[in-house]
Structure 1
Amino acid sequence: MDLKDVILGKDAQIDEGVKLGYRTGRKIADHTLRIGDGACIRYGTVIYGGSTIGDKLATGHNVTIREENQIGDGFNVWNCTTIDYGCKIGSNVKIHCNCYVAQFTVIEDNAFMAPGVTIANDIHPGCEFSGKCMRGPHIEEGVEIGVNVTIIPFVRIGAHSVIGSGAVVTKDIPPGSVVVGNPGRVICSIHELKCQSGLTERPYAHVLLHGEEG
């Protein structure tokens, strides 16, 4: 494997058929790819030069991570997911299979995305100025996003919110909200949810939202 312009930490497990440091056609200041210790990168993954990724990266198969991304420790990303360029992703973020994360998206620590999530960043595709105002959503800490959710540009999803399967998020969501439907609407707080399996009464009782006391 050609590791030119790649700085790879120790104890990495890299499958055959992986491409690290793929050179983008965009003009960027630094084409160096930096990956921390303990990475596990599986067959078919392509990671472009120009990104910085922390320790304990784990990819599934056929993952693409574009250039100019800043990604924290413990990033898990599963099969056939694409992280487009210019994103900021925190630590301990988990993104499941067949997801698309558009350019300039912000995802804070401990967020989770189920399979099939699509994140958009272009509010007016085809407009001659769209490239100048392109921006993905901001997903705050601990947000959990269900299967096949769509999130449109510019919105902010508050910390520890839960977005139900198939929802389309079109506006800002307060912290600790439960959102369902198209367009997505808040139906309750996470503290009002009840455990369906009977293992506990309130599955999010441990979560303290801003301003709450333990």
Structure 2
Amino acid sequence: MIHSTAIISAKAKIGENVSIGAFSIIHENVVIGDNTIIESYCELGVSNHLSEGINLIIGSESHIRSRSTFYEGSKFGDKLVTGHSVTVREKTTAGKNFQLGTLSDVQGHCEIGDYVRTHSNVHIGQHSKIGNFVWLFPYVVLTNDPHPPSNVMQGVIISDYAVIATMSVVLPGAVISEGCLIGAHSSVSGRTEPDMIYSGNPAKKIATTSKLKLKDGSRKPAYPWRKHFKRGYPENVVAMWVKEDI
């Protein structure tokens, strides 16, 4: 269903069974996949001098919540999900089932993998590269300017299965290795080691992630988290993780 107050360019490509809410604006360089929901007061396909007129592509079965803004020149896989009032700038690519929390922003020129989860108020700076199955919790900031203000851009790299806890800052050029846990309120620079805990300001290596135990009475290792947490992931992904355990 398309609300009567929505403004949709005749040149936009809208798939089947797409819902567009009240007062939303869909510009001409927008492609929306089937079975997608765009809530009210959204604007998709905003252009600027950096987007170069490239289409904004939203995959099928996506859900963009109210007051969200997407610039043209980006591409998102199927099942994109946002909270309210998010902003995504130009030349961002994201894989399947990217979840972007309320009031979060992606500053553009970013590469994001499959099944990345961000909570509310997350800032992803330009030129960030995020792998698959990464978790960014509330108020995490990925920076890119080593001596602000300047024109130097050094995006961060976050590898698969990493978890960055609330209110942490990842400094320009930092590399977060696969399976790392960054503790809350940390400030991380440099290169981390896989499957290790880093915490503090400046963040220091604490221990292997396997040292942390679940607080459910079982005392089983809390990490790798995919051994016990599977909610929201498709059966084929869970099967892959089970096979890894075998």
User: What TM-score results when the alignment is normalised by the length of structure 1?
Assistant: 0.91
- 1:18 corresponding residue in structure 2: 42
Q: Pick one of 62, 75, 86 that aligns with 2:109.
A: 86
Q: Aligned-pair distance for 1:175?
A: 0.6
Distance 1:162 1:27 in 2: 34
| CA RMSD of superposed structures (Å) | 1.7
User: Could you tell me which amino acid in structure 2 is paired with residue 155 of structure 1?
Assistant: A
- 1:147 corresponding residue in structure 2: 166
Distance 1:199 1:55 in 2: 36
Encode CA deviations 1:66-124: one digit per residue, 9 max, x unaligned: 10001101000111000011000001000110111100000000000110001110001
**Does residue 189 of structure 1 match 2:212?**
no
Distance 1:83 1:111 in 2: 15
* Structure 2 residue matching 1:20: 3-state secondary structure: strand
Q: Pick one of 173, 190, 198 that aligns with 2:217.
A: 198
User: Could you tell me which amino acid in structure 2 is paired with residue 152 of structure 1?
Assistant: L
Distance change >3 Å, CA 144–CA 63, structure 1 → 2: same
* Structure 1 residue matching 2:90: 3-state secondary structure: coil
Distance 1:199 1:213 in 2: 18
Distance change >3 Å, CA 44–CA 138, structure 1 → 2: same
Contact 1:35 1:54 in 2 (8 A): yes
Q: Aligned-pair distance for 1:146?
A: 0.4
Mark the structure with the bigger radius of gyration. 2
- 1:135 corresponding residue in structure 2: 154
Moved over 6 A (4+): none
- 1:5 corresponding residue in structure 2: 29
Distance 2:78 2:218 in 1: 34
- 1:180 corresponding residue in structure 2: 199
Q: Aligned-pair distance for 1:30?
A: 3.6
Unaligned runs of 5+ in 2: 1-6, 9-25, 229-243
**Does residue 69 of structure 1 match 2:92?**
yes
| Structure of higher RCO (CA pairs closer than 8 Å, 6+ residues apart) | 1
Q: Aligned-pair distance for 1:191?
A: 1.4
Q: Aligned-pair distance for 1:213?
A: 9.1
Q: Pick one of 80, 86, 94 that aligns with 1:57.
A: 80
Q: Aligned-pair distance for 1:142?
A: 0.5
Contact 2:75 2:91 in 1 (8 A): yes
Unaligned runs of 5+ in 1: none
Distance 1:101 1:123 in 2: 15
Contact 2:143 2:172 in 1 (8 A): yes
Contact 1:23 1:31 in 2 (8 A): no
Encode CA deviations 1:111-156: one digit per residue, 9 max, x unaligned: 0011000111000123xxx42x402110000101101000001010
The aligned runs of 1:117-128 (5 Å cut-off) are: 117-126=140-149
- 1:163 corresponding residue in structure 2: 182
Q: Pick one of 76, 84, 102 that aligns with 2:125.
A: 102
Q: Aligned-pair distance for 1:196?
A: 2.4
